[in-house]
A and B are shown apart, each in its own frame.
Chain A
Amino acid sequence: MAAVEATAGRRPGRRPVLAVATLAVLVLAALVVPLVAQLDQQLVDLRSAGLPPSLAHPFGTDEVGRDVLLRSIYGLRVSMLVGLVAAVVSVVIGGLVGLVAGTLGGLVDRLLMRVVDGFNSLPHLLFGVFIVAMFAPSPTAVVVAVAVTHWTTAARIVRSEVLSLRGRPFVDAAISGGSTRARVIRRHFLPNLAPHLLLATVLMIPHAIWHETALSFLGLGLPPHMASLGNMINDGQRSLLAGDWWSSLFPGLLILLPTLALSALAQHVRDRANPRWRSELVL
């Protein structure tokens, strides 16, 4: 809480603008560049293998002469897509569990929350490794691995939100007006849950990307021929020992930058959206 207060005292300044700009550039690059690129990202050119960054290749070239900048953008595209799908799947699973737990309450609620606790006390990456190991490395396996280990956050958020909604007068009014449970959920719970679900999904994306890259780096993520940020860092590992730093450094930066930008933005939104926190802490 102290951090909230610490940043609230200061003016937001240019930080959120910078974060939005970074995200916009990265997302646009991932969306647009593959459509307009003249170069082929998979093009092997042994004559220009292992070139350091230059004007022609701003991020250098890898050990078989592929342009690292272009491949990083393709990798970012793949990682973002896998991250988005994994985040949506885990929020949907978590949202359903949270909705059931919050709406039914009682024994079901307690049981489901025990399950959530159980999943939370598992080492996430290890279970991802286990799941991918038992099935062949593929985008689906990665999405399943991430979703299975990450749905609990959304479940907690949705459950606590449903619990607080249940006590509101308009829900009482709807029920005494003869609304069925399904109608209350559809008309009253879902619209109020929507912003939380959206925020949970957005905040889950960097986690999912992180997991995808970690699994791919270990050789247990996306198939090796796909340009993903994790695969690129894994490939770069070999040439790194020969001193070619660029083929691992730049893909890693593309993981770091969106994560940092998103967490700065989330911090800002949280401070802005909830002025009560600020006033509570000032008092």
Chain B
Amino acid sequence: MEARAVTWLRIIGWRLVFSVPLLLAVTFGMFVLAKASPFDPVRQYLGDRAMVTSPEIMAEIRANWGVDRPLLEQYTTWLGNLLQGELGESRSLRLPVTQVIGERLGWTLLVVGCALVVMLAIGLVLGTLAAWRRDSWLDRALTGGAFATEAAPVFWVGLLAIWVFAVSLGWLPAGGLTDAAATEVTFTGLLRHLTLPVLVLAVSQSSWLLLYVRESVIGVLREDFVLGARARGLRERTVLVRHALRSALLPFITIMGARVPELVTGVILVEAVFALPGVAGTTIKAALAVDFPLLAALTLLATIAVVLGNLLADLAYTLADPRVRVLGVS
């Protein structure tokens, strides 16, 4: 127990040490890009009013935002504010960035969380089935479907789902969180509105998992201990779930953490297609409006999510594999 705690602390420590330069580089890179950008943020902010605003007032806004100061100074100011939990004001929504994120992060986490659960269910069950009935028509249909969803763009799959389930069949709403007439978010309304986005995200993310589980279960099914389990007359289901799937899962945990970037990409596109008020869809709005404070904060948030994903993967791996636990991090 003692040794495990030490190992965990060491992993967390190393990850944090490595993530600090990464986060610094990413945020600094954002400032360099913003500086190189041909857009004038003040003109962008004022829109049509830029024509009638006097240069003095524009210079005042510029000084107010600090965009007229040198790059390094802007960056260190932003960094200092960040450490105090101050992320500035969104220029397109005219709200504090912390408030925008606070209001929207929950929806994104809800969609991602539900999608992860569904994705695991789809990937594990269908992947094991495909491996068990290898080369059958079922296996071919499943792997074919997985390759197709892997190659198909998520937003396109989302649009097709809207066409089939919302437009043609009329079973589920096409987007948003509530019906047009509704005044508050209800549980059943939420369930109806989130079903399609969650399923689309889960299906698009589960194809690699299905293929992966299939490959590893096929590999494990040939191992001696599976042969032994079968020879002892254990039921096929026990062999499959307790022996084959369990040992096939080990490497998958680390890959899972490494897939967070793809998950971020998926949720951005799904929120855009289904017009959900989450942080991922807001990223696109911020980008279209060249809203630097908001876009910078959201990009930082996504990078932190990736770092955390890697950390969780490491920790889960230590938990699952006694060799890593005992021998420590390599």
Contact = CB atoms under 8 A, between A and B. Distances in A.
Most buried by A among B26, B33, B155, B295: B155
Most buried by B among A125, A132, A241, A243: A125
A217 B269 CA distance: 9
Nearest to B139: A6
Interface in A119-171: 120-127, 129-136
A87 to B, nearest CB: 16
A46 interface: no
Interface stretch (A26-34, A37-45, A55-63, A232-240): A232-240
Contacts of B34: 134
B219 A2 contact: yes
Interface string B269-295: 100110000000001101110100001
Given A134-B34, A260-B151, A263-B151, A129 B159 contact: no
A122 to B, nearest CB: 6
A245 interface: yes
B167 A241 contact: yes
Interface stretch (B108-116, B193-201, B302-310): B302-310
A126 B151 contact: no
A249 B158 CA distance: 11
Contact of B306 (A122, A241, A256): A122
Nearest to B26: A122
Interface in B197-213: 211
Contacts of A241: 162, 167, 174
Nearest to B310: A121
Contacts of B14: none
B191 interface: no
Interface string A266-279: 00000000000000
Contacts of A118: 21-22, 25-26
Nearest to B222: A2
Contact of A218 (B38, B156, B272): B272
Contacts of B310: 121
B284 A131 contact: no
Contacts of B238: none
Interface in B111-168: 134-135, 147-148, 151-153, 155-156, 159-160, 162-163, 167-168
Nearest to B212: A3
Contacts of B287: 129-130, 132-133, 218, 220
Contacts of A189: none
Nearest to B280: A126
A107 interface: no
Contacts of A243: 163, 167-168
Contact of B211 (A3, A131, A133): A3
A194 to B, nearest CB: 27
B290 A122 contact: no
A196 B33 CA distance: 32
Interface in B20-46: 21-22, 25-26, 30, 33-34, 36-39
A220 B303 CA distance: 20
Interface in A229-268: 233, 236-237, 240-243, 245, 248-249, 252, 255-256, 259-260, 263-264
Contacts of A248: 156, 159-160, 163
Contacts of B176: none
Contacts of A121: 22, 261, 303, 306-307, 310
B30 A130 contact: yes
B155 A126 contact: no
A36 interface: no
B299 A135 contact: no
Interface string A1-41: 11100100010000000000000000000000000000000
B37 A252 contact: no
B81 interface: no
A249 B168 CA distance: 14
A123 B159 contact: no
A219 B289 CA distance: 11
A259 to B, nearest CB: 4
Given A6-B218, A122-B303, A126-B264, A133 B288 contact: yes
Interface in B211-253: 211, 214-216, 218-219
A129 B294 CA distance: 13
Contacts of B168: 243
A6 B21 CA distance: 42
A242 B26 CA distance: 42
Contacts of A74: none
A260 B148 contact: yes
A103 interface: no
Given A129-B287, A252-B156, A260-B147, A135 B264 contact: no
A214 B303 CA distance: 20
A213 interface: yes
A233 B215 CA distance: 34
Nearest to A123: B264
B99 interface: no
Contact of B159 (A124, A136, A237): A237
Nearest to B272: A218
Nearest to A264: B147
Given A3-B214, A136-B39, 9 more contacts: A2-B218, A118-B22, A118-B26, A120-B261, A125-B268, A240-B162, A252-B160, A256-B148, A263-B151
